[in-house]
Structure 1
């Protein structure tokens, strides 16, 4: 079985997650300075890990929104892992609404997945589960289940969200920029990069997928 390749930011040494990963025989671990995020998994998923105390401090400083903006513009899938319990921030003078507002912004405005973890062990497991589920996915066995839109505009969103790493936010930006789904499909990779949040790598993935033979 192929090993899971994980690059961990060297500033995560004290987290305890790196030491757990280092003893896992399924993981090929590299430790170096990352310009964005804390863990890069198989060049596919970029994770920003925050303890509850880290979250509060970054909300107060405003750093959380800068990080979310940069993650949203990344060419690969991104997610936040929030580690710990609410009791960890009992001594911080911050209104709960400020925390909820930040989480809403991250999840809905920046379209970044938020995962919860109770401990460093659980954080490690989330990293491994994500890698294994990605590796086991088979395109032929992934029907799009659940919500089926009926209105034309919603159908357009639904179609575009089937493209690689395109969530609701980017789908809306695409439709605001291009006049139709047809125009998005016919756009060049360079034209796709005009959309905020779509870098050249993501644009090339979309362009190639729409043109490759089955």
Structure 2
């Protein structure tokens, strides 16, 4: 049976986008969302702004825009800002340098990717590609073949080994080794770290040994518990929202 792709959409989003998503054979669940406009998985959510809305949010109350994006990044591992018809922003009275200043600040300081689209139709195309990529990869993770160089030192080999886990690059691997000394110590820390949820079933955070490593969140723990110990923590807030 072919997989059915799903997306949760805030009820205030334009009906035209909803209709186009349904035409793309994506199951749409409408909800009143406190954070984000489109939720694609436990990890990925999108805040959509039209070009005019983007300018208004800068000129009227810039703090509101950054507060929205801060909540998005605090709630989701992969927050994305989608700006629709960015050209309209540059047709406003606002200085282009100021517009670029805000955009670069969001990308550089807040570490939030920005996707520009031309119109509703392009927005739906972008959302569809994100839905397919995210929800397919939940079942079929993309694996890159890795071969360790023969001349690696003992410490380099430990780092290389840890990079085989989910969401670990060289910097994160070194942080984990600094905290737990060996790959086995990292394994134990992952196993012994608990996932915390709110009363409504949303991912809240973690409790345990991994808390002392900056940047480690519940999605990292969930994925690596399953990888290392076959511990399938089936408490997806995305799936819970779909059932609500």
Compute the TM-score of the two structures, normalised by the length of structure 2: 0.64
* Separation (CA, whole Å) in 2 of partners of 1:57 and 1:207: 42
Say which of 219, 222, 229 aligns to 1:212. 229
Contact 1:160 1:181 (8 Å CA) reproduced:
no
Q: Gaps spanning 5+ residues in structure 1: where?
A: 146-151
Residue 48 of structure 1 aligns to a residue whose secondary structure is: strand
Task: Specify the alignment match of 1:149 in structure 2.
Answer: none
CA RMSD of aligned residues (A): 3.8
Cα shift readout 1:96-123 (whole Å, capped 9, x = no counterpart): 2322222223222222221111110010
Residue equivalent to 2:12: 11
Q: 1:209 to 1:99 in 2, by over 3 A?
A: farther
Written as runs of structure 1 = structure 2, the 5 A alignment for 1:97-176 is 97-137=97-137, 138-139=140-141, 141-143=142-144, 163-164=166-167, 171=172
Correspondence for 1:55: 54
Report how many aligned residue pairs link the two structures: 200
Q: Matched residues in 1 for 2:71 and 2:164: separation?
A: 21
SS at match of 1:115: strand
Alignment partner of 1:2: what SS?
A: coil
CA displacement at 1:196 relative to structure 2:
6.8
Separation in 1 of the partners of 2:54 and 2:182? 38
Q: Select the structure of larger CA radius of gyration.
A: 2
Q: Which moved more, 1:120-129 or 1:189-198?
A: 189-198
- CA positional deviation for 1:194: 6.0
Would the alpha carbon gap of residues 161 and 82 (structure 1) be closer, same or farther in structure 2, given more than 3 Å must change? farther
Closer, same or farther in 2 for the Cα pair 1:115/1:35, shift >3 Å? same
1:71 and 2:72 are equivalent in the alignment: yes
* Residue 148 (structure 1) aligns with: none
Paired with 1:178 and 1:96, the residues of 2 have a C-alpha distance of: 45
CA contact (8 A) 1:17 1:124 kept: yes
How does the TM-score come out when normalised to structure 1?
0.71
CA contact (8 A) 2:166 2:224 kept: no
Report the Cα distance in structure 2 between the residues aligned to 1:75 and 1:197, rounded to whole angstroms: 12
